[in-house]
Each structure stands twice: as C-alpha cells, then as structure tokens.
Amino acid sequence: MNEVKHFINGQYVGSANGQLFDNINPANGQLISRVHEAGRGEVDAAVQAAKAALQGPWGRMTLDERTRILHKVADGINARFDEFLDAECRDTGKPKSLASHIDIPRGAANFKVFADMVKNVSAESFEMATPDGTGALNYAVRRPKGVIGVISPWNLPLLLMTWKVGPALACGNTVVVKPSEETPTTTALLGEVMKEAGVPDGVYNVVHGFGGDSAGAFLTEHPDVDGFTFTGETATGETIMRSAAKGVRDISLELGGKNAGLVFADCDMDKAIEGTMRSAFANCGQVCLGTERVYVERAIFDEFVSRLKAAAESLHIGPPEDELANLGPLVSHKHREKVLSYYRQAAEQGATVVTGGGVPEMAGELSGGAWVQPTIWTGLSDDSSVVTEEIFGPCCHIRPFDTEEEAVALANSLPYGLASAVWTENVSRAHRVAGQIEAGIVWVNSWFLRDLRTPFGGSKQSGIGREGGVHSLEFYTEMKNVCIKL
C-alpha cells in the first residue's frame, strides 16, 4: 500500500510514533493510501529545518536566483501535470475536466506570478528636513518574515496551498505546510518538484495530520514559527488566532462565507443562470466564494427558479475520469453527513424543495462514494439555519426581493463578508450596489474571475488581511525603515 510521508529538510520521512491514517477516495469509498500523522517531534524537525534554511543558501540567494528557481517549480508541476491531476482527483473526487483547467494550472501559475511580482514592486523613500539644515533620508526595505506556517483546506488543495507558498517563497521565507488530512497527496508530491527545481533543503517542508491535538495544533503552538497563513473554517481561524497571539505572531486568515448572489430584473438572464450555476454547483459547491443565498427580483423570480432548476437537473454526476461529469462527490462521507443534515433541516423548516434534496443512485463501486444531489430550495425564512450557515455543498436557497435597498440589506445581513455576485445590465446600479456590499470581493456579471494582482480576502468573519498582488508582499515581508542623517 502506498504511503504518504512528511517532507522535512529535503527528505521524505515517516512518523516516529508509527501512527498512520487512511486517505479515502470520495468517489468510491476505497482506500487510496495511508498517511503518516506527525507528532510534535516531526513538526519540530520541520520548523527547525525551515529556521536553519533561512540562514543557508536560500537566505543568501539573489532575487533573480530565487525567482528563477520558482519558475522551475512551476515548470516542474506542469511537466508532471497528469501525476498531479490524478492525485488531486483521487483525493477530492472532483472531475478531471475541472481540475485540469483550474487546480493544477493555477497551482503552477502561483509560483510564476508571485516570483514576477516580487521583482517589480518598489519600496518607499522620504526625504526630510532637519533643524540643522542637512536633512535626512528615509528608505524602506523588505525582509522575509521568517518561517511561515501554512495551513490549507481540502477544497482546492494544490491551488490554495501554492497561493500561499508561492508568495512566501518569492519573498525569501521558508515554509512548513500542513495540508488538509483529506487531501495530502499533491502537497507531498510537490516536495519532489521542489527538490528537482533546486529549492534548497529545509525551505519547503510538509507535515501531515489533523487539526486539534495533531499536526495543525502542534504547528500553530510552535514558538519558532514567525507567522501563519490559513484558509479554512471561521471557527478554526479563531483557534489559530489564539495560538498565534502567544509570541505576537502575524496571521492571514481566509475563512468561511455564506455568499449572496443578487439577480436584478434588468440582468441578462442567460448570463445570470450560467454564472449562478457555476457559483452554486462548481466543485460540488465546495468553493468558499460560492453562492448559497440567491436573491432574485420578484418580476423574474419564477422564470429564474424554473431555469436554474432545469440547469441543475442537467448536471452530469460522475467520477473524475468521466469526461461528461461536471459534478463530483463531496470530499468525504463525514462532510456528506454535514451537508445532508442541512438537507434534512431545510425539509423540517418547511422549504419547498425545487430539485434534489437527497442522495443520487450510483452504480457499482461508485455506490460507496460521498455523492449528493444538487439541491435548490425556496420558501425558507431569513433566519433559517440553511440560509444563515455555510453548508459547503451543491445547494442554494432562492428568495425574491422587491427593491434594491432590500437586496443590499439581505446581502449584508450575515456576519460573513467574503464574496458576492451581482447580475444587472444597468451600469449605475452595478457600481451603486457593489459599493454597498460588505464583502472582500464583488463580481458584477461574472463569478470566480480572478486576477492575482488584486486584493483577495474576507471582511467581517470571513477573514483578516488581504493577499494577492502587493498585498501578499505586505504579509510575507517585514518592512524596515532605514533613516540616514545626512
């Protein structure tokens, strides 16, 4: 049986405690591999390797040398594209058609984009007058923050991990990555690519395990980690924030959401349906930026609901290798239990189930997978748990509204503020509504269109800090001001 090991100081190593856990394929419930679970010893070894590497060849490299290596990392992922694709699809169950144009290419691109970005951002300088008339010159320089702890989720494993590791390394830091226990394989595989590309030992380290009382907690409690970047649930973010407070370490948190889509009567209905389909059902609804609350202007409500229903019912449910599949399973049976509990609550709370609401019949070995039906509800009250809590499944609730003010108030009514999608052909309304929505990103007539130079992050309980473009550099570097009296 295939084993997934930690990657520490340039070597694959097993756990000294001999503890391993199962990695299960969510499409059929079968065992993919056994994964080593790090104890405090492995986490400490990874952190010490990362700390030492800051003083080694990595710390002495010129920016050009470092960024050339990061380009090679991207090329290395692309050269082994099919291996990464197979591993990602086995761990997550997602369709290959999706992972081959999002997860893997964007995972590779994160290294090139941030390597190029770092080369092109200048720091600031200020001349100042002094009482003796000679003046002084201030200039800022960026220095790496140090050892960065990267804790990543399972929904877009390679993409979301490299979105942190790319800029962290481009800025000269070293990292210890703790991938999700559900999806450890591509993060482990990246160790080989790093080595082949010439990344010095200790710069990229990986430890596997769970969150509380396991690798995640051991990493965040380790005093020699200088900052943490985390993507995952809001409750986990709060725990990590508490650990990071000890020793006053910096954090960047990309957390949960319960995103609203606002569909106005003056929208282009074809675009709104196509975009809402993707935002509700892509990656089986397991996208933090996805739309689980859809608000539709009353004049077009019935038409919108019936067209979204028809589109949802035309989704092709299937395993990764099925070329027609555009809806895979959920990531695990445990997550399916959570999603199905909301399907039950919706029924108990009196929802009209427009479509779905259960588990599809799957033939043969697929019957052991974590499948659920794409689901649409109407008729729930605004305080229903299904409307206020993040489900992270292929589902949405649709509710009518009458005025623009009401639509904005509904969008802003929850403590989350990650993303929103607005559908209107009225340009004044587009700007007006986008300006009022409390979210880190507002799309108008699109969804998931991402330019990596732009700020990305959540407001309210959806996160702290921004990454992307120069904002990543703000987190992954310490700025130091040098003041020279002339």
Under rule CB under 6 A, residue 220 binds ligand NAD: yes
Helices 63-79 + 185-197 axis angle, to 10: 130
Under rule CB under 6 A, residue 217 binds ligand NAD: yes
Binding segment toward ligand NAD, per CB under 6 A, in 89-97, 189-197, 209-217, 263-271: 209-217
Which residue's CB is nearer to ligand NAD, number 147 or number 273? 147
Which residue's CB is nearer to ligand NAD, number 400 or number 463? 463
Q: Name the burial class of residue 222, with classes exposed (0-12), middle (13-18) and buried (19+) by CB atoms within 10 angstroms of its CB.
A: buried
Within residues 137-156, the interface with ligand NAD by CB under 6 A covers 151-155
Q: Which ranges constitute the DSSP H helices of 120-179?
A: 157-170
For residues 72 and 475, give the distance between their C-alpha atoms in angstroms, rounded to a whole number: 24
Which residue's CB is nearer to ligand NAD, number 76 or number 328? 328
For residues 30 and 258, give the distance between their C-alpha atoms in angstroms, rounded to a whole number: 32
Annotated catalytic residue: which of 89, 288, 395, 396?
A: 288
Which residue's CB is nearer to ligand NAD, number 217 or number 421? 217
Residue in 37, 88, 181, 226 binding ligand NAD, rule: CB under 6 A: 181
For residues 95 and 282, give the distance between their C-alpha atoms in angstroms, rounded to a whole number: 10
Per DSSP, the residues of 77-117 read HHHTHHHHHHHHHHHH---HHHHTTTHHHHHHHHHHHHHHH
Q: Smallest gap, in angstroms, from Cβ of residue 335 to ligand NAD?
A: 7
Residue in 76, 256, 318, 417 binding ligand NAD, rule: CB under 6 A: 256
Place of tokens 């761990």: 91
Residue nearest to ligand NAD (CB): 211
Annotated catalytic residue: which of 37, 181, 182, 254?
A: 254
Residue in 18, 133, 212, 364 binding ligand NAD, rule: CB under 6 A: 212
Q: Are 387 and 429 in contact (CB under 8 A)?
A: no
Residue in 15, 180, 205, 355 binding ligand NAD, rule: CB under 6 A: 180
Strands (E), 103-210: 125-128, 136-144, 147-151, 174-178, 204-206
Known catalytic residue: 483? Answer: no
Known catalytic residue: 254? Answer: yes
# residues near ligand NAD by CB under 6 A: 32
The two tokens of residue 255 are 């957390």
Residue in 210, 224, 410, 460 binding ligand NAD, rule: CB under 6 A: 210
Cβ neighbours around 188 below 10 Å, total: 22
> Which residues bind to ligand NAD, rule: CB under 6 A?
151-155, 160, 178, 180-181, 210-212, 216-217, 220, 231-233, 236, 239-240, 254-257, 288, 390, 392, 418, 458, 462-463
